[in-house]
Each structure stands twice: as C-alpha cells, then as structure tokens.
Amino acid sequence: MTAEAPITQRAISAVVQASIASELGLPEEERVDRRTAFVDLGLDSAALIGLAGAVTEELGFEVPTEWLFDHPTVHSLSAFLADALAAPEPARG
Amino acid sequence: MPSAALQTPTEHLTLGHALASHAERLSATTALVYGRPDGGQDRRSYAELYAQAAAIGAALHDLPARTHDRPFVLIALPDGVDYVASFFGSVLADTVAVTFHPPLMSTTRAGRAWDHRLEQILRDCEPSAVITTPELHTRVRAVAGAAALAPLVLAPEDVGWDAGAEAGPVRTRPHHLALLQYTSGSTSSPKGAMVSHANLAHNIAHIRRNLSTGPGQSAAGWLPLFHDMGLIGMVCHPLTAGMSLHMSTPTGFLRNPLGWLRTLSETRSTFTIAPDFGYATAVHKVPEERRAGLDLSGLRHALNGAEPVRRRTVTAFTEAYAPHGFHPHALMPVYGLAEATLVVTCLDRQAPPALHEADRRTLGGAAPRSGDFRAGTARTELVGCGSAIAPDTEVAVVDPRTSRRLPAGEIGEIWISGPGVAGGYWGREQASRETFGATVDEPGSPARRFLRTGDLGIWHEGQLRVAGRIKDVIIHRGTNHHPQDLEATAEGCHPQVARAVAFAVRDEDDQDEQVVLACELHAYGGSDHAGVLTALRTAVLEEHGIAPAAVAVVQTGAVPRTTSGKLRRAEAAQRWSAGEFRTVALWHRGATSKGGRR
C-alpha cells in the first residue's frame, strides 16, 4: 500500500457488502447482514470467487478466495482485511 | 450452410496427426495462450506445443499397461498449457488420458472429497501414471497406496523439451481409446465414458464443418479441462482446426468476467463456448461503462451448452453486447453429452433463437412414469438446439416404455446413434449395455444400437428441444450433480443425520434450479436442529460448490420412498413446491438474497 491513510474497516465492510449485493442481484441500497455467514446468504463457491475478484478490484489489493473461507462473514472478513491493509507487509495467504 | 466443396476442412485421422501436421505447416503460429493465476501468460506455438507433448508422450509410451491393453494416464493438473501438453502427450503416445483436476478449494473438507473421488477413479481404471503438480505428489501416492496401487507420479516440469528437437512418431491409432471421461458422477459409481480417437475425430470434424473454423482464426474461452465441453469443444476443436486459442480458467473468469470479453475482442475471436450462466455473468457483472471499447463483431459462433439455455440470458446478452458488434444470431444453443463425445445437435448457420412455449403438464402426459418435470409453473419455454451434427448421426425421440419412435411434437427420451457415440463405460458391462445398447422397436429395423441419454426431448420445426430429464440429475452452473452425492455428503456431515434426500425445484419464473436438501434424524428429542442445518449447508458448499436454497429437518418417514425403500425425488420436489412438506426445522435463503440469482 501507499502512504495514504489506511482504509477503515467500516469502508471495507461497505465495499464487501456492496459486492455481495451485486453478486446476489440485490437492489443497490439493500445491505446483507454483517454477521451472517456467506453460505447462509446464498453465496456458492463460484459466487465467492466472483466476490473475491470484485473486492480485489475495489480495494486494489489481491484478495485470494481462500480468505473468504477463513473469514466467512462481512464482519470477520472486513476486520481481517483492515488488519492486512494496515500491516506494513500485508500477509499473503 | 457454406459451400461444402470450398469449406470442407482438411480431415485429420486423429488429434495426434492434426497436431503433427500443424507443427510442420503452422510451426511458429500461436497455438495456445493460457492465463496463469499470477496474472501472467504461458504461450506455445504449434511447434512448441507439439515438442512438449512429444516429450511427455515419450515418457509415457513405455509404461506397462494394467487393466486395458494400453496404459491409462490420469491428469490432475490445474488448467493451463501443461495440462494441454500432457493430454496431447498421451494422445501421441497412444496411451489413454483420464482427465481430472486438483482439489477445487483449499479447505480440509474439500480436500477429503477430492481424495475420495481420486481414489474411486484410481480403483476403477488403475492408471499406470498420474501427471500432477509436485506439491500433490505425496498426496497422490498416499491415495494410490490406499487403493494398493503405485502409479508413476510425474510433474510436467520433470519432462524437458526442445522445440528444435527431431519429432518422434505419431503413435495415435483411430480405433484406440483416447480418453476416459468420468461423468461428474455419482459417489457410489464413477463411470468413465470410453472415447476413442475415431469418436473425437468425427465430432471435431463435424463441429468444424458446421462452424467453418480453420487456420487464421482465433478462439477464446475459460471452460475447465476436466469437463468434455472444455477439453474437446474449447481446446481440441480449435487446435485440430489450426486456430490460435486464448484461454483463461473458470476462476479467472469468475474473478474478472470482463477479461473473457476483452480477449474475444482483442484477438478478434470467431468462436467461444460457455454455459448459460457464463453469458448471464458477462451481463450482470460487467457494468455498462466498463464495456467501452469492446468489439465483438468478429465473433461468429458463441456456443451455449451444458445447462438449459434461458431466454432472458439470450435476450440480455444480445441487448448488452449488440452495441459492441455482437451479432444477435451468433449465440448458438447446442445439445450434447460426454457419452456421445460432445456435441449431438447444433445449428449449421447463424439463426435467431428458436423459442417455443409448451405446456409442461401436457408434455408430462406422454413422459415416462418417472419423467421428471420439475414441479412449478405450467408453462415452459423450450429452446431449439438445431439438428443432428452429422448426416450419419441419428437423433431419435423414443418412448422409453415401448422403445417405439415418437413423431415430431411428442415428448420422449432422446436416443442417439452414430460414430460419435462412445464405446460404453469402462469396466461396467451391465451399465454399458443398458445405456449404450438400446434398440428401437420397429418392423424391419436393423439392429442399430442407440445411446439412451436420460434426457427428454421433442422435435419441433426441425429442431431438437430438450425438455427435462428422466434421471434426477441436478445441473448447477453447467455441471451435473447426482443427488446421491449430495445425500451422501449430507448423511456424513453430522452424527444426527440418518437419511437425506436432495432434489431441485424451479424458481417462480421457471428458470433457475434451486437445490433443496431434507433429512431425517436418528432422534429428534434434544437435537441441535440449527447445528444440523448449518452443517448441511457448509458441507454441501465445500464438497460440491453448491449453496442450497433450502435445507430442512423432517420427521422420520416424511421423505417419499418406494415400497423397496428407494427415494422418490421427483415426488419430493413436487411436494416441496406445493408446500406439502412438513418440516421440523427449516432454513431457506432469506428475502435478503431473493431475486437476481443467475
């Protein structure tokens, strides 16, 4: 990452929620629950790959699909990504 | 149809002969470019692809055969140039390729499911060699050891090659087996369709003839190579035709759907294939502003197969990409299956989509007893998939109870006869006889053998329309899933689960299939129902990649069965749709995720 201000967990959470809404074809203003597991939201493995790709694109930061299995809610994934982005050498996988 | 005299492509005896010929005549032409996970690309010219394949072939051809007169070679590589070179290496060595893949996900449960599937295939055909990545060698040896087998395990990078080296002989023989294509099949009995070089050459020659593909053209796609549509339609066909092929992977496509369209545009590709969900993804996941600059005017044929073709997808894709040069008639529905090598019916020209609305119930009236039209709305739309791909291939619609041919307009089972039909299932005489040895009951008919597809179809206005399935197979994103597999996963995921049933129901607009799992428990008092429901969803996702629309705990005996205890899945689906399934505990995808599923 550059020396810009670190992106907050709240901002990441919004990105992830928007990407899920797009993945599920929900109206733009609709937000999924932050503590419901991805599988319970109806995301299958192909949708998770798509979600990882969309989040990568939005954050400009490589998000492997495996991370979504290790951190399977909006809340836990955003917290993990915020830590990873704040770290000087982002953990990769 | 183009003029046959001018357009008939050069016929090659086998894939091996085609590659050898292109290596000589198109030597420096790009054969294959493959996107890597790290964002880079691997590239092979025809001379290079041939050289690498020949080197791998040289490492294979002296292997001892075990269960067949020639050795089986299992390929468990990620999609990429090494996979293609290994497949062609097996072709040139006249060994038999068994196509497989690495674990699809890195979770423990997904890994166990992969080990199990690998072991079943190893036991079924006893390959003499396994080609896989170095990090999987120990694991493959352990799984093989559990099956009391010790195949040679090698990695593509162990085999050096030199594009300038003297080419070895092409050992490929037309009537030998080229490929065991394991159908994405049932846990209890993986069945390998035996595809010969003659099968492949016939199917590919007729795809080429129908689409007029040849040297100087490009193709682009992302289908997986362990699937027949990816390996044969998307890779072997363009490479036999001498085209330049630009590939990505399913993961690459899902992460960045725009990449597929960009490649089609930049390479002026004339040909691609995807299942319906691929085209839907290209509409919904690529916002309009990101489509700027795409030019799809070179795309003559965009085949749509492996799952039902949906009108809304055809319409949406055409509307989205016609402004970018996409010809509205280039989207071409096809019908096929691994047991018939690949393509059975398609159009021989660009044509508007042939949609035909039918009444599901009247269709069902002529269907066999177990004929399974998913419960739901009564009107259904049947999409024309063209006619038989070759003049020597017969596609009959037959009443499976009487084995009598049905006239156009009546629904029955699709039966196929012709040079594209595979030789049966490896090592399964009875299943092969039942599936590949049907005869039509008609006076004076020669003893022509037909493949029973298990699919229901109807001829209408000269085109075959696929109307459903006799078998309970669930199609999810272009992949067939046997409900038995999902049920086995469900029964193994939580100690409380006694028996499970899996079935598909259609959503309101009769489009998407939704997977439902219901299970009976060993005991109900004090059971952790929520825990069972969570375990079911997680297990089915990790082992099969499917997110069920609903999972339920039901009372013992609630799942409909025959008197001999066999599951009646079609009836279960009907009861579910009618709201007649009484549940003890239920989870279903909530209002938050309703609508817009692909």
- Does residue A92 lie within any of the structural domains? no
Give the CATH number for residue B25. Answer: 3.40.50.12780
3-state SS, residue B205: helix
Tens of pLDDT, residues B208-231: 999 999 999 999 999 999 999 999
Question: What's the domain count of chain A?
Answer: 1
- Does residue A4 lie within any of the structural domains? no
Q: Which residues of A touch B546 (CB under 8 A)?
A: 44-45
Q: Give the tokens for residue B591.
A: 């209002």
* Residue B203 pLDDT greater than 60, yes or no: yes
Are residues B280 and B397 both part of a single domain?
A: yes
Average pLDDT, rounded, for chain B = 88
Are residues B111 and B238 both part of a single domain?
A: yes
Q: Which residues of B touch A69 (CB under 8 A)?
A: 105-107, 542
Q: Give the tokens for residue B512.
A: 């998407």
With CB atoms and an 8 Å threshold, state whether A42 touches B597. Answer: yes
Residues 6+ apart with CB under 8 A from B200: B14, B15, B178, B179, B232, B236, B341
User: Do the Cβ atoms of B503 and B516 come closer than 8 Å?
Assistant: yes
With CB atoms and an 8 Å threshold, state whether B595 touches A26. Answer: yes
Residues of A within an 8 Å Cβ radius of B: 22, 24-26, 30, 32-33, 37, 39-47, 49-50, 52-54, 56-57, 65-66, 69
Q: Give the tokens for residue B339.
A: 């047991």
Strands (E), B199-259: 218-221, 244-247
With CB atoms and an 8 Å threshold, state whether A40 touches B587. Answer: yes
Are residues B93 and B167 both part of a single domain?
A: yes
User: Do the Cβ atoms of B503 and B464 come closer than 8 Å?
Assistant: no
- Does residue A53 lie within any of the structural domains? yes
- Comparing CA positions, the residue from B431, B466, B542 lying closest to residue B183 is B431
CA distance A50 to chain B (A): 5
User: Do the Cβ atoms of B102 and B76 come closer than 8 Å?
Assistant: yes
What is the model's pLDDT at position B417? 97
- Does residue B1 lie within any of the structural domains? no
- Does residue A91 lie within any of the structural domains? no
B256 touching chain A per CB within 8 A: yes
What is the model's pLDDT at position B167? 75
Q: Which residues of B touch A21 (CB under 8 A)?
A: none
* Residue A27 pLDDT greater than 80, yes or no: no
What is the rounded CA–CA span in Å between residue B549 and residue A44?
10
Are residues B299 and B217 both part of a single domain?
A: no
Q: Write the DSSP assignment of B136-175 as a string of letters.
A: GHHHHHHHHHHTT---EEE-GGGS---TTSPP------TT
- Does residue A77 lie within any of the structural domains? yes
- Does residue A54 lie within any of the structural domains? yes
- Does residue B2 lie within any of the structural domains? no
**Looking at B257-266, B284-293, B480-489, which range is the least confident one?**
B480-489
Residue in the block written with tokens 């016609």: B322
- Comparing CA positions, the residue from B542, B399, B388, B378 lying closest to residue B470 is B399
Q: Give the tokens for residue A15.
A: 């990105």
Are residues B107 and B161 both part of a single domain?
A: yes
Are residues B293 and B183 both part of a single domain?
A: no
Average pLDDT on B272-296 reads 94
Tens of pLDDT, residues A29-60: 778 889 988 888 878 888 899 999 999 988 88
- Comparing CA positions, the residue from A43, A32, A17, A70 lying closest to residue B540 is A43
Residues 6+ apart with CB under 8 A from B386: B332, B333, B334, B335, B345, B346, B347, B348, B463, B464
Average pLDDT on A57-67 reads 88
Q: Which of B231, B246, B261 is the last residue of a domain?
A: B246
With CB atoms and an 8 Å threshold, state whether B593 touches A42. Answer: yes
- Does residue A37 lie within any of the structural domains? yes
What is the model's pLDDT at position B474? 85
Average pLDDT on B348-366 reads 64
With CB atoms and an 8 Å threshold, state whether A69 touches B107. Answer: yes
Q: Give the phi and the psi of residue B310 in degrees, each rounded to 5.
A: -105, 135
Domain with A61, as residue range(s), is: 9-86
Are residues B186 and B317 both part of a single domain?
A: no
Average pLDDT on B473-494 reads 84
- Comparing CA positions, the residue from B301, B223, B231, B252 lying closest to residue B478 is B223
Q: Which residues of A touch B534 (CB under 8 A)?
A: 37, 40
Cα–Cα distances (Å) from A36 to A31, A77, B534, in that order, read 12, 12, 11
What is the model's pLDDT at position B333? 92
**How big is chain A by its Cα radius of gyration, in Å?**
12
Are residues B227 and B272 both part of a single domain?
A: no
Of A26, A50, A66, the CB nearest to B285: A50
Of A22, A49, A66, the CB nearest to B255: A49
What is the model's pLDDT at position B436? 96
What is the rounded CA–CA span in Å between residue B591 and residue A32?
10
Cα–Cα distances (Å) from B279 to A43, B142, B173, B550, in that order, read 19, 40, 38, 26
3-state SS, residue B450: strand
The pLDDT confidence band at residue A88, using thresholds 50, 70 and 90, is low
Are residues B589 and B447 both part of a single domain?
A: no
With CB atoms and an 8 Å threshold, state whether B254 touches A57. Answer: no
What is the rounded CA–CA span in Å between residue B379 and residue B360?
6
How many residues are present in chain A?
93
Q: If you measure CA to CA, which chain A residue comes closest to B250? A: A46
What is the model's pLDDT at position A8? 87
Are residues B169 and B241 both part of a single domain?
A: yes
**DSSP alpha helix (H) spans, B508-597:** 529-544, 569-577
**DSSP alpha helix (H) spans, B26-151:** 46-60, 81-93, 108-125, 137-146
Are residues B323 and B190 both part of a single domain?
A: no
Q: Which of B414, B438, B473 is the last residue of a domain?
A: B473
* Residue B597 pLDDT greater than 70, yes or no: no
Q: Which of B228, B246, B264 is the last residue of a domain?
A: B246
Of B106, B255, B476, the CB nearest to A52: B255
Cα–Cα distances (Å) from B217 to B64, B139, B212, B221, B412, in that order, read 40, 41, 10, 14, 39
CA distance A19 to chain B (A): 10
3-state SS, residue A9: helix
Question: What's the domain count of chain B?
Answer: 3
What is the model's pLDDT at position B375? 36
What is the rounded CA–CA span in Å between residue B457 and residue B455?
6
Average pLDDT on A82-87 reads 85
Domain with B570, as residue range(s), is: 482-593
Say which DSSP state B234 is in: I
Give the CATH number for residue A29. Answer: 1.10.1200.10
Average pLDDT on B534-555 reads 89
Strand-pair partners of B452? B415
B479 touching chain A per CB within 8 A: no
Q: If you measure CA to CA, which chain A residue comes closest to B39? A: A62
Higher per-residue confidence, B561 vs B367: B561
With CB atoms and an 8 Å threshold, state whether A65 touches B589. Answer: no
Tens of pLDDT, residues B94-123: 999 999 999 877 778 888 889 999 999 999
Q: In chain B, what percentage of residues exceed pLDDT 70?
A: 90
With CB atoms and an 8 Å threshold, state whether B547 touches A50. Answer: no
Are residues B329 and B354 both part of a single domain?
A: yes
- What letter represents residue B552's amino acid? A
